[in-house]
Amino acid sequence: MRMVEVNNAGGRFDGSDFLWPVRVYYEDTDAAGIVYHSNYLKFAERARTELIRALGNDHHALRRQFGIAFVVSKCDMHCRLPARLDDLVEVRTAKNGLGAATLDLQQNIWRDDEEIVRLRVLLACIDDTGRAVRIPADVRRRLADWEQEPSRKP
C-alpha cells in the first residue's frame, strides 16, 4: 500500500483514500463515555477540511481566490458501533463523484479493523450569497485529479 504524508497534523493519502486520525476526548463523549452521535459529524468535518487543504486549498484561500465555499447539502450517517473515551479512530474519505457544483464523498470512521460509522456526504459549492455555483476550473482539476476507486462506493 502506498501511504503519503501530506501535513504535520497526521493526515495522509493511502491510495485513493484520505485518512485522518482522531483521538476521542472526554468532551466528545456522553455520560456513559460513548461518543455522542453529533461528534462523528465533527470528526468527518475535520477530515474534509484537511482533505481540501491537502489538495492545495484551504477554506480561506477558496473564499479569497474564488469567492466560494463548500457546504454540506446532504448527509446520511449510520452508527454501527460506539467509539469510546480514549479510542484512536480514523476517518477514511473517498470520492464517489464530482458534479458541476457538487462533491459526493464516502466517509467511514474506523477503530483498528472495525468500521464503526458510515457517512455519505454531498457537498455543494456556493458563492457569497449562498447560491450554488459551478466549482471553479482550478479547484475542479484538483478534485478530479484526486484518485477515485469505484470499489469504495457503498
CA 118 to chain centre: 12
Give the pLDDT band of residue 154 (cuts 50, 70, 90).
Answer: very low
Q: Which residues pair with 115 in a beta bridge?
A: 110
Which CATH number is correct for 3-147, 3.40.50.620, 3.10.129.10, 3.90.10.10, 3.30.2130.10? 3.10.129.10
- Could you report the per-residue pLDDT of 38-71, keeping only the tens digit for each? 999 999 999 999 999 999 888 899 999 999 999 9
The least confident of 5-9, 28-32, 79-83, 140-144 is: 5-9
Write down the pLDDT at residue 148. Answer: 53
| Spans of all domains in the chain | 3-147
Answer yes or no: are the C-beta atoms of 43 and 37 closer than 8 Å: no
Active-site amino acid positions: 30
* Burial bucket for residue 28 (CB in 10 Å: 0-12, 13-18, 19+): buried
pLDDT, one tens digit per residue, over 82-130 is 999 999 999 999 999 999 999 999 999 999 999 999 999 999 999 999 9
pTM: 0.87
Q: Return the C-alpha cell found at 119.
A: 457517512
* pLDDT band at residue 149 using 50, 70 and 90 as cut-offs: very low
Element holding 6 (H helix, E strand): none
Grid cell locating 68 = 466560494
